[in-house]
């Protein structure tokens, strides 16, 4: 009886521990509850909000859920801790021109290394080290403000003011990230054209380089005093190397490439080639036997133009060479050739009609039942 009572006591204790564990996992303020709040986020409007700020659009709510679902990383700087950091970084900084990247797609469509690296008027902007520092400070400060808002919101639902502030700084960071990447697009193309990887497609190589460029923008620290191109070049080369190693491993596992000749029948090509040879033999027979009633000049032109002289086994001559033989211009040779070919074509059609008529007569012959 003591053992039974002890088992009941332990069983009740286990059930209590199980309930406590489930409550910790799915209860209020639990990890699962916070995840649900972020997935089904609804922005709580301020009490004093005006009617035009009553809520966000569905696109902005989806973007807000995406931002709150992933912590934003940034490269810290001492400039961010100053009292007037925002004014110093944005208002008092130099305005840097955005590059014109309309030239980028035509170059992507032409993978030939012999093509010039860039058109003459590409609108490319070459940044100095000071200008690069300005852009990266602006980009990382915007990400710094996004991260601060994420930490202040925590697992709670953001107010409308917080949501709009979060979206504003996120768009500022995206705009500067895009500007830095577009400024260095020519770097990716130049390195892709210098890279000798015959087994890697040019478009795949440029795609890997662009992804490496974006990762470099996120991780570059302008406070160390280096140029961004120095850091990005190494990252792009490592991406090219990884792409080549990946393709090499794939080819080691699947050494046979796709061969269209092994995947489909060539019966139609064989039949077509046979008919072309038969037609060529028929035309040669017409010319040799002169069924088309060609003149001596026309026969000479056809023989030399198409190499029909089997005894001498000569290669076909040009119009100018044939003109030198018969003493006329090449334009006159072309006229004679066209006239001779028209005679040959009419003869071939007559022969075809005669053969078709003979086959029809054989089909219409007396049947065995008539006898």
The better pLDDT of the pair 211, 275 is held by 211
At 29, is the pLDDT very low, low, confident or very high (cuts 50, 70, 90)? low
Residue 115 in this model has a pLDDT that exceeds 50 = no
Q: Residue 293: which region, alpha, beta or left (left: phi > 0; alpha: psi -120 to 50)?
A: left
Domains and CATH numbers, the chain: 71-253 (1.20.120), 275-357 (1.10.10.10)
Instruction: Report d(CA 215, CA 218) in Å as an integer.
Output: 5
| Per-residue pLDDT reduced to its tens digit, 301-334 | 888 888 776 555 567 888 888 888 888 898 998 9
Look-up: residue for tokens 């639902």?
Answer: 157
Mean pLDDT of 354-369: 63
Look-up: residue for tokens 């050494």?
Answer: 255
Where do the H-state alpha helices sit in 220-329?
228-253, 260-263, 267-289, 296-306, 319-326
Residue 11 in this model has a pLDDT that exceeds 70 = no
Report yes or no: 208 and 192 within 8 Å, Cβ to Cβ.
no
Mean pLDDT of 271-279: 85
Instruction: Report d(CA 187, CA 227) in Å as an integer.
Output: 13
Q: Which of 323, 305, 326 is nearest to 315 (CA)?
A: 305
SS3 44: strand
Report yes or no: 268 and 233 within 8 Å, Cβ to Cβ.
no
Look-up: residue for tokens 């990400």?
Answer: 143
Residue 41 in this model has a pLDDT that exceeds 50 = no
At 52, is the pLDDT very low, low, confident or very high (cuts 50, 70, 90)? very low
The better pLDDT of the pair 20, 82 is held by 82
Q: Among 1-5, 20-24, 257-261, which stretch is predicted with the lowest mean pLDDT?
A: 1-5
Mean pLDDT of 190-217: 86
Q: Is the dihedral of CA 244, 246, 247, 252 positive or negative?
A: positive
Could you count the other beta carbons within 10 Å of the beta carbon of residue 323?
Answer: 19
| Per-residue pLDDT reduced to its tens digit, 61-101 | 899 999 998 899 999 998 898 888 888 999 888 888 888 87
Mean pLDDT of 135-145: 93
């Amino acid at each position: 009886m003591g053992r039974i009572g002890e088992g009941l006591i332990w069983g009740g204790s286990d059930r209590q521990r199980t309930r406590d564990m489930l409550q910790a996992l799915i209860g209020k303020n639990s990890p699962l509850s916070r995840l649900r709040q972020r997935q089904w986020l609804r922005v709580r409007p301020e009490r004093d909000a005006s009617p035009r700020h009553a809520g966000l659009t569905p696109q902005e709510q989806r973007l807000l859920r995406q931002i709150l679902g992933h912590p934003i990383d940034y490269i810290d700087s001492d400039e961010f801790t100053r009292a007037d950091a925002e004014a110093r970084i944005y208002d008092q900084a130099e305005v840097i021109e955005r590059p014109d990247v309309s030239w980028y797609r035509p170059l992507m469509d032409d993978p030939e290394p012999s093509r010039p690296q860039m058109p003459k008027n590409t609108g490319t902007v070459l940044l100095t080290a000071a200008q690069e520092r300005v852009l990266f400070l602006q980009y990382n400060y915007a990400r710094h403000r996004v991260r601060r808002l994420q930490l202040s919101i925590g697992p709670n639902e953001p107010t409308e003011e917080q949501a709009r502030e979060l979206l504003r700084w996120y768009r500022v960071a995206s705009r500067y990230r895009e500007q830095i990447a577009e400024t260095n697009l020519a770097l990716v193309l130049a390195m892709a054209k210098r890279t000798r990887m015959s087994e890697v497609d040019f478009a795949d190589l440029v795609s890997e380089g662009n992804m490496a460029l974006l990762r470099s923008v996120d991780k570059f620290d302008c406070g160390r005093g280096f140029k961004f191109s120095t850091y990005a070049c190494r990252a792009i080369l490592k991406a090219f190397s990884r792409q080549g190693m990946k393709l090499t491993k794939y080819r080691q596992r699947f050494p046979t490439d796709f061969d269209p000749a092994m995947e489909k029948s060539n019966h139609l090509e064989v039949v077509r080639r046979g008919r072309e040879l038969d037609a060529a033999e028929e035309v040669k027979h017409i010319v040799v036997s002169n069924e088309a009633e060609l003149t001596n000049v026309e026969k000479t032109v056809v023989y030399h133009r198409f190499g029909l002289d089997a005894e001498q086994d000569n290669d076909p001559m040009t119009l100018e060479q044939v003109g030198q033989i018969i003493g006329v211009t090449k334009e006159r040779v072309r006229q004679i050739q066209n006239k001779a070919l028209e005679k040959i074509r009419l003869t071939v059609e007559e022969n075809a009609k005669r053969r078709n008529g003979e086959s029809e007569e054989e089909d219409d012959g007396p049947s065995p039942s008539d006898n």
